[in-house]
A and B are shown apart, each in its own frame.
Chain A
Amino acid sequence: MKLFNAFITGIRKALHAWPVTLITFFVNLVMACIVALLFKSSLSNAFGDSLAPDQFINGFSFSFAMDLLKKNPGLLHAVFSLVGWMVVLNNFLFLFFNGGIITSVQSKSEKVTLRIFFEGCGEYVGRFFRLFFMVALAGIVLVFVLGLIAGFLYPVLQGNGETEIQILKAAGSVIALFVLSFSILLLIADYAQVITVAGNERKMFHAFWAGIQIVFRRFFLLYGLFLLFTIGSLLIVVVSIFIWFHFNADTGLGLFGIFIIQQILVMVRAWWRVAAVGGQVEIYSSLKGTPQSEMIQEPPNPVVPVPALNIVPLVDEQKLTEEPAPVTKRLRKRLPRKPAKRVVKKIVVKRRSKRSTRK
Chain B
Amino acid sequence: MKRIVLSALFLFIRTSLSYSQPVIFSKPLSPRIANYAISVSLDANKKKLQGKETLVWRNDSKERIQEIQFHLYLNAFKNAQSTFMRESGHRPKNSNDVTLGWIDVKKMLVRGGGDLTEKIEFIHPDDDNADDQTGIHVPLKKSIKRGKSITFDIEFEAQLPTIFARTGFYNNFFMVAQWFPKIGVYELPIEKKAKGKWNCHQFHANTEFFADYGVYDVDMTVPKNYVVGATGIVVRETKTSDSLKTVSYHAEDVHDFVWTASPDFTVVEDQWNNIRIRLLIQSYRVGNISERYMQSVKAAMKRFQDWVGVYPYPNFTIVDPTMNASHACGMEYPTLITGVSLWGVPHTIRLEEMATIHEFGHQYWYGMVGNNEFEEAWLDEGINSYFETRIMNAEYGEKNSFIDLFGFTVSDFEFSRAGYVDARNPKLAPTLQPAWEYNAGGYSEFTYMKSATFLTTLERLVGKSVMDTIMRTYFNRWKFKHPHSADFITVVNEVVPRFHGNKFGENMNWFFDQVLSGTNVCDYELSSISVSEIDEPKMQGKNQNREYESRVLVSRLGEVMMPVDVLMRFDDGKEIRESWDGQARYKQFIYKGKTKIASAVVDPDRVLAIDINFNNNSKSFEPPVFPLWKYALNFMVDVQTLLQSTVLF
Contact = CB atoms under 8 A, between A and B. Distances in A.
Interface of A: 28-29, 31-33, 35-37, 39-40, 43-44, 46-57, 59-60, 62-64, 66-71, 83, 86-87, 90-91, 94-95, 98, 128, 132, 135, 161-165, 167-168, 186, 189, 233, 237, 240-241, 244-245, 249, 252, 255, 259, 262-263, 266, 269-270, 273
B637 A240 contact: yes
A59 B407 contact: yes
Contacts of B618: 50-52
Contact of A255 (B284, B599, B630, B645): B630
Interface stretch (B138-146, B221-229, B440-448, B621-629): B621-629
A67 B631 contact: no
Interface stretch (B25-33, B72-80, B415-423, B579-587): B415-423
A95 B632 CA distance: 29
B305 interface: no
B284 A165 contact: yes
A262 to B, nearest CB: 5
Contacts of A55: 627
Given A70-B421, A240-B637, A57 B620 contact: no
A186 B649 contact: yes
Interface string B381-422: 000000000000000000100000011111100110110011
Contacts of B613: 67, 70-71
A52 B614 contact: yes
B612 interface: yes
B283 to A, nearest CB: 9
Given A36-B636, A94-B649, A164-B344, A273 B620 contact: no
A94 B626 contact: no
A77 to B, nearest CB: 15
A241 B408 CA distance: 13
B310 interface: no
A57 B619 CA distance: 17
Interface of B: 171, 282, 284, 322-324, 342-344, 399, 406-411, 414-415, 417-418, 421-422, 599, 601, 612-621, 623-637, 639-649
A90 B647 contact: yes
Contacts of B641: 237, 240, 266, 269
Nearest to B630: A255
A51 B624 contact: yes
A255 B633 contact: yes
Contacts of B411: 62
B632 A32 contact: no
Contact of A66 (B418, B630, B631): B418
A169 B58 CA distance: 57
A273 B623 contact: no
Contacts of B612: 67
A32 B636 contact: yes
Given A39-B636, A54-B627, A266-B637, 16 more contacts: A32-B643, A35-B639, A39-B631, A49-B619, A50-B619, A51-B599, A51-B619, A56-B630, A64-B615, A86-B643, A91-B648, A135-B649, A161-B324, A167-B323, A240-B641, A262-B637
Nearest to A241: B406
17 contacts: A33-B636, A35-B636, A39-B636, A43-B628, A50-B616, A50-B617, A59-B399, A59-B407, A63-B417, A68-B615, A87-B642, A164-B342, A244-B637, A255-B630, A262-B637, A266-B637, A269-B641
Contacts of A128: 649
Contacts of B617: 50, 52
Contacts of A87: 642-643, 646
B647 A91 contact: yes
A44 B625 CA distance: 8
B639 A36 contact: yes
B422 A259 contact: no
Nearest to A93: B647
A28 B409 contact: no
A318 to B, nearest CB: 58
Given A51-B623, A91-B647, A32 B628 contact: no
A280 to B, nearest CB: 14
Given A43-B632, A164-B342, A262-B637, A95 B646 contact: no
Contacts of A165: 284, 343-344
A56 B649 contact: no
B642 A56 contact: no
B345 to A, nearest CB: 9
A60 B404 CA distance: 10
B342 A32 contact: no
Nearest to A265: B637
Nearest to B633: A259
Contacts of A59: 399, 407, 409
Contacts of A48: 623
A43 B631 contact: yes
